[in-house]
A and B are shown apart, each in its own frame.
Chain A
Amino acid sequence: MSRSTDSAPAPAETESTSAETTASETDVGTSASGEANADATDAEAPLLAARNISKYYDQSEGFLDDLIGDARPVRAVDGVDLEVRRGETLAVVGESGCGKSTLGRTLLNLESVTGGHIEYRGEDITGLSGSAMQPYRRDLQMVFQDPLASLNPRQTVGEILKAPMEVHGIGESDEERTERVRELLGLVGLKEGHLDRYPRQFSGGQQQRVGVARALTLSPELIVADEPVSALDVSVQAQILDLLDDLQTELDLALCFVTHDLSVVRHVADRVAVMYLGEIIETAPVEELFANPRHPYTKSLLSAVPRIDPAARTDRTVLEGTVPSPADPPSGCRFHTRCPAVIPPAEWAGTQAEFKSAFTFRNRVLGEEIDPEAIRTRLSAESAATDNDAVATRITERFVPDTDAQLPANARKAIENAAARLANGETEAAKTTVTEAFPSPCEDETPRDTPTEGGHVACHRVDPEMPGDPDVL
């Protein structure tokens, strides 16, 4: 929230960070200047770090499901590296279903990870059970999206706020804890008289203040805020954002702000991580991300946000299709099925837009979105010819976007070929045709994290070792 742009840029690769940390720790023991050195690195060392963490949800309910059903696990979070540093606000942005909320909960060990490690101040806290995790809970807290749902309806605000202290044995007596609760209420802008009220007796904004107060009772170092303002009205949302901002400055809190709202991100975050289908595809300091987004997904996301100021409106990059299932993510770059900047093969003769058009057709064939029989019915309803040729023609007319785009002859031919096969009922053959005709490096290889200005991007176009012009969008 406080925009500490002077903070050091994020190390591009997590390995290098740990290497640095280890090095500095060795220094402490050997050199006289070790202490200062350690302090300096300590400021940069992450408070909380996720190392390649994954969270899969098993869909199967037993061995029968394993045998017959669709038992592939949902990969909510899949190989995420993330660091939150002291006092900073890291925003995790993404659309619904991208795994951002799961990531938030996994960071706090509220969900067990499927793979990877979570480190708090360098200590591995992965999979710690209730009592072993308890000391860390004082430092790591959470604010929830739905303030009412996160407060027990049968407890007064006083009881809710005293519980964390009771659990952690803070305060000698009930009076002492009540006193501290009074302070907290003041801190979040509620009144002492609110102590004996029940959650339902508050407005949404006040409920969220209670939620924030609860997170503060243990004086944490880091708060994961999962969509803390999305359930609130605009004016109240601004109040809570203000409150979080002030508290952060005052208490030197680190915030991991999980949200879908890019406008909010711009105002609260120091650094941003963009998620798509369980992966982080771009991280950058907030100004850098908004001024110079690198990943095509980030670009289209930004372009989709409505703007009040007409002058600030940009050409919208409309994404085709819907988000693929996280149980069966696309190969290579997970965004390649919808990416407007999907990289054409080296031999492609046409333009990027033309390739995108052909590639969209290909994905529709592969996704079995085209039903030739339905088209035949439609044609017959229109009293048109219903032979295979007519169906094939209709398929190319309807499923190749921008039909005015003059595709290269061989591409046009491949599309017609595939359409004819579809019309003929040879779905698999049609799939083979389009796969062979329109390959892309994006579907083959998982993009590497390429270091950028203060962050990194996982996109082949940005990777200097891969083909593709980075500035195509």
Chain B
Amino acid sequence: MILTAKQQDILDGKSGETLAKVMKTLVMYGEAFEAEKLVPITSKYNHLVTSFGLKVMSPVYDLMQKLLDAGVCSEQKFSVDPRPLDDNVPANFLQNFVFKNFMYTKQDFYENQLKELGLMDENAFTCTCYMDEVGNKPKKGDVLSWAESSAVVYANSVLGARCNRNSGIIDIMGSIVGYVPYFGLLTDEGRKATWVIKVQTTKKPEAQLLGSAIGMKVMEDVPYVVGLDRWIGQELNDSACAYLKDFGAATASNGAVGLYHIENLTPEAKESGKDLIKEGAKEYIIDDAELQRVKDNYPVVWKNKDAKPKVCFVGCPHLSLEQLKTWTVNIERELKQNQKEKIVIPTVLTAAPKVLEQFKNTQYYARLQKTGVITSYICPLMYMNNPLCKKMPVITSSNKLRTYTSARYYTDEEILRAITGGNK
């Protein structure tokens, strides 16, 4: 890798031993991908994936402390993934005891570290930092040092920013030195599609299911999706962006997709069309039967497969304001149809703290509360990742949550039916 004189000085330790190690990490990371240079980060804010103060992750906090002690913090402020705990979310005595006394004992300590390292503000905890209400929305062409797979794939695909699928810790290290290695999704060549996905369904495909099917097929490759604009339109409006948020999260968690192009919709596909497709690209046709096959193959790890669900999570990644409103209307409608006043399964809708703030200012909030649904800023994944919750029959319409936990996946429609007593 060819470094500038300034970068070489840092690597040589002229700005201190800790910063030299940060630079060495980035150089080695780049060299693993034959990166020839480091390029400047141009986004206003960074986004970190590590939001949880888990006792077992002590090595991470020790490393962060080394950075703080050496005074090598970033000048770039950042948002971070959602908090793992929220008293609003149903938990029994034992769960609360385990969460607070064994698992997240480092939460306060780590949040203080985050503040010192440059957290945007105390409510900047969400996986959907790019929502207008949150304010960490990079511009097209911005170079980022973000982590959080669902945010990276959204920033690359929907916003046209440039970011590799960085890991936690690498995210802040790039931000500290102000550079990231130039490879992969930062390059024009790396943004070309090696798969053409033909959507041939007879109805609008479920975003989380379509993303899952594509992720499992293409893994880390870039897919160019044809035929989806028929169902979600050719404008990046609220509805299309929410769809792509959920779709992208599933491609990233069920596979390792960092960028997708949707023909006639996403910015680079609109600009360059099929020129984005590499010669010899493979093809994957998705019809109704293929989506059903993918769904039917999800393993169910519940001990009792017929257990009554104890909790339902919707909002991984966090919901948009429009999605919160839509869920409210849909839940009201289904309850009425099923002649019920309240939901029959404890249900949590999750969204960014600032999106929830806005939601609480609308008439929909009181209406949703009336149905018995809870809203929260929690990370459902962090809530679920422990042996107590693993034994709980939890349902979700998030394919990311299904992938990482014992939660069972259902489509939005199936979830709606289940929580409103429509499954008789």
Partners in one complex: no
Q: Give chain A's interface residues, CB within 8 Å of chain B.
A: none
Q: Give chain B's interface residues, CB within 8 Å of chain A.
A: none
